[in-house]
Amino acid sequence: MGLTEWVLVAVAVLAVVLVVLWRQAVRVDRLHRTVLRSRATLEAQLARRAAAATELAASGALDPAEAMVVADVALRASDAAPVDLVPDGLAGSPETGPLAGVDDSAGDGTSRALLESELSRTLRAVLGARAERDELAADPRAAAVMTQLHQSWYRLQLARRFHNSHVEQVRRLRADPLVRVFHLAGRAPLPEPFDMDDELPGD
């Protein structure tokens, strides 16, 4: 095989390698975008749950003391909405994200995960067992909002699981030696899962 043939083989191999690397880079970028989309969906469901909890507290169907507790936690969760769910910097910039020293805290140093978990625990305690929830759902003042609360809560469970599943896919892909050696993820931060207590009230 002459020199020309060797050059052609080398060019062909290089072209194949470049195509493989390009496809992997595109895949990494696509998965990062999928994480951001699923995170936005999760944000929306968390906001809907907080809004439903606030509405339930204002409905007059709860005990006044319980209504105050629910309203307080729900409003704090709503007020924390501008703070990123996860301090991984994936959705931020070097000037505004965690790399610039901004962490995932909600003003008073409480993380979004802790606030949302507190809302879950508060709602479970206030709503009580199934018999109590059925009685509350039969109250005309709370019937519609109880349905909204359950739907948004169930959907946020699904949204969080989808989000964390996408995060795991990205992390597995970025652990691939090819991706790491050739820095195919660029400077994109490694996404983190969002862990919280989102358990629905039980029987």
Write the DSSP assignment of 94-159 as a string of letters. TTTSGGGT--S--SSS--HHHHHHHHHHHHHHHH-SHHHHHHHHHSTTTHHHHHHHHHHHHHHHHH
The pTM assigned to this predicted structure is: 0.86
Per-residue pLDDT for 94 more than 60? no
Q: What is the pLDDT of residue 129?
A: 94
Q: What is the tens place of the pLDDT at every residue in 22-60?
A: 999 999 999 999 999 999 999 999 999 999 999 999 999
Q: What is the pLDDT of residue 7?
A: 81
